[in-house]
């Protein structure tokens, strides 16, 4: 299921509830340009988010969108772990989001650090370049389409994990497995609101260890 046009990332709502600035104002959920979701019993679960900027030369917009894509990926990853009731095997998970600025794009992956100390955000593959000449169309199909299929495959895999867990929990007897307390999950820190850049929310305890 696709959602476009500044709709809210459901997975970020939980993080927003606990992320308060010093003036006690609760931030709203992330506004996402394009959401790819699992639709299950009238509810929607994000598995991939995409951000678009018309002009790739606007550095501030590109940097803020990249930060946003990484945070969205972290929220989606956390939600998958909670819904699928994963523990140490969550280290094998990865969420792939997309960012496009002008005629260039990037796949940004978010996963757990192998020792369990935190999260890793990284570019996956090469920069995606839209063709501006007829001669570049073949190269476009060889690289960009292959990259999009990689994102699609990962999104479908994560959606299957969520759906399988939801099916178990909605069965007649419910899930027969205890819910593990995943030690990999860390608090989401959203940083200052754009309207109040000098108001810094308290850092999570994990930042201070």
For residue 129, tell me if it sits in a domain: yes
* Boundaries of domain holding 53: 2-173
For residue 193, tell me if it sits in a domain: no
Handedness of CA 160, 126, 130, 33 (dihedral sign): positive
The reported pLDDT for the residue numbered 131 is 84
User: How far is it, in rounded angstroms, from Cα 48 to Cα 165?
Assistant: 18
Residue 37 tokens, joined:
């979701």
For residues 59-85, one letter each, b for 16 or more C-beta atoms within 10 angstroms of the residue's C-beta and e for the rest, the string is: eeebeebbebbbbbbbbbbbbbbbbbb
Q: Are 169 and 82 a contacting pair, CB within 8 Å?
A: no
Q: What is the pTM of this model?
A: 0.80
The reported pLDDT for the residue numbered 54 is 83
Q: Are strands 2-8 and 95-101 parallel, antiparallel or unpaired?
A: unpaired
For residue 45, tell me if it sits in a domain: yes
For 62, which DSSP code? H
Q: Are strands 95-101 and 104-112 parallel, antiparallel or unpaired?
A: antiparallel
Out of 59-68, 172-181, 195-204, the most confident range is 59-68
Report the mean per-residue pLDDT for the chain: 80
For 115, which DSSP code? T
- How large is the average pLDDT for residues 70-87? 91
Residues 19-43 pLDDT 10s: 544 444 455 556 788 999 999 998 9
For residue 181, tell me if it sits in a domain: no
For residue 79, tell me if it sits in a domain: yes
User: How far is it, in rounded angstroms, from Cα 53 to Cα 66?
Assistant: 11
Beta strand residue intervals within 41-182, DSSP E: 43-53, 95-101, 104-112, 119-129
For residue 109, tell me if it sits in a domain: yes
Q: Is the pLDDT of residue 16 over 50?
A: yes
User: How far is it, in rounded angstroms, from Cα 185 to Cα 11?
Assistant: 14
* Number of separate domains in the chain: 1
Residues 88-133 pLDDT 10s: 889 999 999 999 998 889 999 999 998 888 899 999 998 888 888 8
For residue 196, tell me if it sits in a domain: no
Q: Is the pLDDT of residue 168 over 80?
A: yes
For residue 179, tell me if it sits in a domain: no
């Amino acid at each position: 299921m696709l959602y476009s046009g500044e709709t809210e990332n459901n997975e970020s709502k939980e993080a927003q509830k606990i992320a308060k600035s010093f003036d006690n104002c609760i931030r709203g959920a992330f506004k996402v340009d394009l959401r790819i979701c699992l639709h299950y019993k009238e509810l929607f679960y994000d598995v991939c988010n995409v951000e678009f900027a018309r002009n790739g030369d606007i550095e501030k917009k590109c940097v803020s969108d990249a930060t946003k894509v990484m945070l969205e990926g972290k929220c989606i990853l956390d939600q998958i772990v909670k819904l699928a009731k994963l523990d140490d095997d969550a280290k094998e998970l990865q969420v792939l989001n997309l960012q496009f600025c002008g005629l260039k794009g990037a796949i940004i992956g978010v996963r757990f650090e192998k020792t369990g100390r935190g999260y890793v955000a990284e570019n996956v593959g090469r920069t995606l370049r839209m063709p501006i000449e007829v001669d570049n169309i073949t190269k476009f199909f060889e690289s960009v389409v292959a990259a999009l299929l990689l994102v699609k495959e990962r999104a479908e895999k994560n959606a299957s994990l969520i759906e399988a867990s939801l099916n178990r929990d909605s069965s007649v007897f419910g899930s027969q497995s205890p819910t593990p307390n995943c030690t990999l999950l860390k608090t989401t820190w959203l940083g200052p609101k754009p309207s109040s850049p000098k108001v810094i929310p308290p850092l999570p305890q994990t930042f201070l260890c």
